[in-house]
């Protein structure tokens, strides 16, 4: 089996991650198909049968080559409400709808002169 270069592997991982994000945010038949295509590409590149195994294999290949990027703390798939509101911690009852900005007064040409 030919091994992919680190650059190709990182590119495939990036494209797969982008496809997953897009499919999770705006699920359509097209985004699901793109996600499947990117998963298949990773599987072919790593010789794995499933995408989870392909992700682990890609990590191992990059680590062996010394090109693995240090991972940061992984975020959960769904962020807690407190995270979205910054430092303020509360319950969903605390969330109030945003008020619309007040309309600006419209000045006619005569008033500006």
Query: What single string gives the DSSP state of each residue in 29-43?
Result: HHHHHHHHHHHHHHH
Average pLDDT, whole number, for the chain? 75
Q: What is the pLDDT of residues 28-69, one digit of tens each?
A: 999 999 999 999 999 999 999 999 999 999 999 998 877 655
Report CA-CA distances (Å) from 92 to 26, 70, 95, 100: 24, 35, 5, 20
Longest dimension (CA), the chain: 78
- Among all chains, which residue has been given the structure tokens 């992984």? 74
Separation CA 23–CA 32 (nearest Å): 6
The residues near 6 (Cβ < 8 Å, ≥ 6 apart) are 61, 62, 65, 67
Tokens of 67: 């090109």
In this prediction, residue 55 carries a pLDDT of 93
User: CA–CA separation, 16 vs 55, rounded Å?
Assistant: 10
Q: What is the pTM of this model?
A: 0.57
pLDDT computed for residue 27 by the predictor:
93
Say whether 4 sits in a helix, a strand or coil.
coil
Return the structure tokens found at 57.
Answer: 């294999």
């Amino acid at each position: 089996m030919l091994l992919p270069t680190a650059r190709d592997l990182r590119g495939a991982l990036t494209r797969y991650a982008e496809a997953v994000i897009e499919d999770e945010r705006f699920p359509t038949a097209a985004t699901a198909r793109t996600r499947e295509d990117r998963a298949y590409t990773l599987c072919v590149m790593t010789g794995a049968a499933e995408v989870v195994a392909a992700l682990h294999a890609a990590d191992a290949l990059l680590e062996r080559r010394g090109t693995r990027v240090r991972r940061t703390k992984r975020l959960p798939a769904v962020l807690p409400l407190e995270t979205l509101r910054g430092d303020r911690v509360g319950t969903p009852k605390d969330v109030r709808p945003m008020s619309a900005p007040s309309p600006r007064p419209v000045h006619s040409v005569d008033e500006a002169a």
